[in-house]
Structure 1
Amino acid sequence: MTDKIRIDDLAKPRLTPAQEAAIAYGESRTVHLTVDAVLGAATQASGLDDFGPDDFRERLELWLSEMGKDDERTGLGRVSMFDDCVRHAVNRLRIHELLRRHPEIRDVPIERPVIVVGLPRSGTTHLVNLIAADERFRSMPLWEAREPVPDSRETTPPGGADPRWSRGNRAWNALQSTLPLMASMHPMSPDHVHEELELELPDFSSYQIEWAARCPGWRDYYLSHDQTPHYAYMRTVLQILQWQRPRERWVLKSPQHLEQLGPLLATFPDATVVVTHRDPVSVIQSTATMMTYSARLHYRHTRPEWYLEYWTDRIRRLLESAVRDRDRLPANRTVDVYFHEFMADQFGTVERIYSAAGLEFTAEARAQVAAYRDAHPRGKDGQVVYDLRHDFGVTPREVRSPFGFYLDMFPVREEVQ
């Protein structure tokens, strides 16, 4: 039986000793949220200094300035942002250096990928991990997403773990120590298949930062700029990964693609697109709860009402864009997946996707997918109980009311009453 988990301290967290220690550590460190400080630290850490085209500096400056001006951000929140930006900048240096030494990488084909596109918290992660269990597919585990190009100064001992995997595992263990309930909401183990959106971060774009910070200024900037160049950058990093470890086809996924179908299809014109659908209320209550829970480390006040308002608006924007651009999707290579049907028949859902992708669902592939499904039942790490009324002071009907345009178009089952 799945353990039910009730988070009853979202508004006024009761900090664990590990959380108190993490916050104290953040207060003990001083970081300067400036472009020069980040790039200087990246140069020192990598031994490289050529970042390539410098248009990224404007975007990095916006990230850092919005965090620096936020008095609610804790010391740990500032340190986390600084360290993440340094990691992205180091990745940018290594990517640029590798491409300089091996320009042939830009000719590596990325053909007929299967791309899962759907709301966050709508089953996209489980679905992409199911498909990725088929070893013919090339997917991207989190450890590789965090550091797509290895440090040329490091070596992997015979039979040992890649140093990048080891760093990813330490990060996962630290997260479980400070935010133990994240495993029940969004597993981040190093081998977990991750979003290719991570590969836009060395170019300092994407909506990913919205999951790490309160940054409406960045949201407005991002939405007002054409993302096609950043999708092209991401594709180039995929070429690097394909060059390093080839497979027959890629399986990718990201909710951001819902509002970027134009750039997505310009970048991957021969893709099979899998669109997941779920009751927006389920998505919003899950997202707002997870974000409020994690805010106890990075913000002085968790402000559940802020996350509910922000992510209700954000999910609406994603869906409005998806509905607006629906006719861009290739009819013969688009598969709609409804959450309730997926949960009832995971195997049948995967079969439909393979059919649309023109890929044989072989006996070996069936066994690999089934093995993953059986080893990862829903609620394996416990199931969080979500309560809009108690935790956020609203009813499901109120949250659902702005989404008639979407619910009238797609037969999504209401999950929350």
Structure 2
Amino acid sequence: MMMTLQAEALLREASAASGLEDFGPDTFREPLRRLVHALNTEARLSADGLRAQHARLVGLLVNRLRVEEVYRLHPEIDSEEIAVAVCIVGLPRTGTTMLHKVLSSDTRFLFPRFHEVRHPVAPDSLRAGAPDDRIAQVEAELKWIVATSPELAAIHPLSSTGAEEEIGLIEHSFYSTSPEAFNYVPEFGRWLGAQDNRPGYSYLLRLLRLLQWQKRRAGEQVGPWLLKSPHHLHYLDLLLECFRDARIVLTHRDPVQTLPSYASMIVALNHLGCETVDPVAVGAYVLERFAASLERATAIRDQFPERFMDVAYRDCVNQPLEVLRRLYAAIGMPFTAAVEVAMESWLEENRRDKRAAHHYAAADYGYTDAGLAQSFAAYRQRFLQN
């Protein structure tokens, strides 16, 4: 009989591995317990998948312990002021990643890098002179992911030091939609969606303060933050509450195109660690989750129109520099000649035709064009008619 995950055992293992005991605010314990239950009962994990989830959960808990230890050693971290200039939000596959990556070529922005998301605490923050092997660890992880699922490189480019979504930081709070990407855990997702997710955003802010302090300490220029994650589509009200000066860029593309593409990515991720994957069940849950969230997000957008900027996917593809100029004007930052050159270079080096084609069929996930069009009729009528 295959072993199962146990929340208390994971906590003990993390403490033993780190030699630390303070996990920070206890708000993470209930979502951790719920997630562990879902992984044991819903996810249909393979033996390799179970080992991977075990390692991932212990890693998150070890990171929490290290975060609290750094805060204990350096209480001045709490004084770091976080200014978020831009946060990119939208349905997956709507150009959020492209916008995020090209904006990250502007060195005035701070942003979480992949190795910082996976391992937020720099070793020398705990022990002076300690070597930093985080990049090597993440490169080994990415090499395994691409070897196991080559199609992921065509769907979503990965880099150990590149700009990465802050969803990986939020994941340390366990109020995160990340588990829904790697595992079929719909009951956990529904439970999470019904909770007050403020603890997730509070912990994100805690980790951004830590990252900013570490960057300042390392001699990096500290400026406004650039954030991005489709996760925020579910919790736009909390995003606005947490980052009161941020301009939210909402990306728009026809869900008839985006939902099948995203479902195919989730199926590919599920195959990394699940014994069996039901593409139709995955498709149904993806539709359920995002149809409700998009409706709620639109209502919140209408309450605070001055906080938002709408960007069409076709404009990101066909006239990206015009989109970027408009964004810089909206946030009051100069769009300098040097920034334009850097962004033109990034766009040329990362053209979509330089990656392998991403093949999928909507029917594989139980979708029809007519059904998706009906599910998102109001959204399509409002944002996709021009």
TM (norm. structure 2) is: 0.93
Specify the alignment match of 1:316 in structure 2.
Answer: 291
- How has the CA–CA distance of structure 1 residues 256 and 197 changed in structure 2, closer, same or farther, with 3 Å as cutoff? same
Q: Please point out which of 295, 309, 313 is paired with 2:270.
A: 295
1:386 correspondence with 2:360: yes
Q: CA deviation at 1:155?
A: 5.1
Preserved contact between residue 63 and residue 120 of structure 2 (Cα < 8 Å): yes
- SS of the residue corresponding to residue 113 of structure 1 reads strand
Equivalent AA in structure 2 for residue 146 of structure 1: R
Preserved contact between residue 110 and residue 226 of structure 2 (Cα < 8 Å): yes
Q: Please point out which of 17, 35, 43 is paired with 2:7.
A: 35
TM-superposition CA deviations, 1:340-364 (whole Å, max 9, x none) = 1110011111111111010001111
Q: CA deviation at 1:52?
A: 2.2
Q: CA deviation at 1:336?
A: 0.7
Between the two proteins, what is the percent identity of the paired residues?
33
Segments of 5+ residues of structure 1 without an aligned counterpart are 1-26
Specify the alignment match of 1:237 in structure 2.
Answer: 207
1:346 correspondence with 2:316: no
Note the 1:4-403 alignment, pairs <5 A. Answer: 32-70=4-42, 72-151=44-123, 152=126, 162-246=132-216, 247-331=222-306, 333-389=307-363, 391-392=364-365, 394-403=367-376
What is the aligned residue count? 379
- SS of the residue corresponding to residue 379 of structure 1 reads helix
- How has the CA–CA distance of structure 1 residues 179 and 212 changed in structure 2, closer, same or farther, with 3 Å as cutoff? same
CA distance in 2, matches of 1:167, 1:60: 24
RMSD of aligned alpha carbons: 1.9
Equivalent AA in structure 1 for residue 204 of structure 2: M
Equivalent AA in structure 1 for residue 273 of structure 2: H
Q: CA deviation at 1:156?
A: 6.2
Equivalent AA in structure 2 for residue 181 of structure 1: E
Preserved contact between residue 182 and residue 269 of structure 2 (Cα < 8 Å): no
CA distance in 2, matches of 1:42, 1:315: 34
Segments of 5+ residues of structure 2 without an aligned counterpart are 217-221
Q: CA deviation at 1:79?
A: 1.4
- SS of the residue corresponding to residue 272 of structure 2 reads helix
CA distance in 2, matches of 1:271, 1:330: 13
TM (norm. structure 1) is: 0.86
CA distance in 2, matches of 1:155, 1:182: 36
- How has the CA–CA distance of structure 1 residues 135 and 232 changed in structure 2, closer, same or farther, with 3 Å as cutoff? same
Preserved contact between residue 262 and residue 328 of structure 1 (Cα < 8 Å): no
More helix by share: 2
Q: CA deviation at 1:307?
A: 1.3
- How has the CA–CA distance of structure 1 residues 156 and 369 changed in structure 2, closer, same or farther, with 3 Å as cutoff? farther
TM-superposition CA deviations, 1:259-290 (whole Å, max 9, x none) = 21111111101111111011112111111112
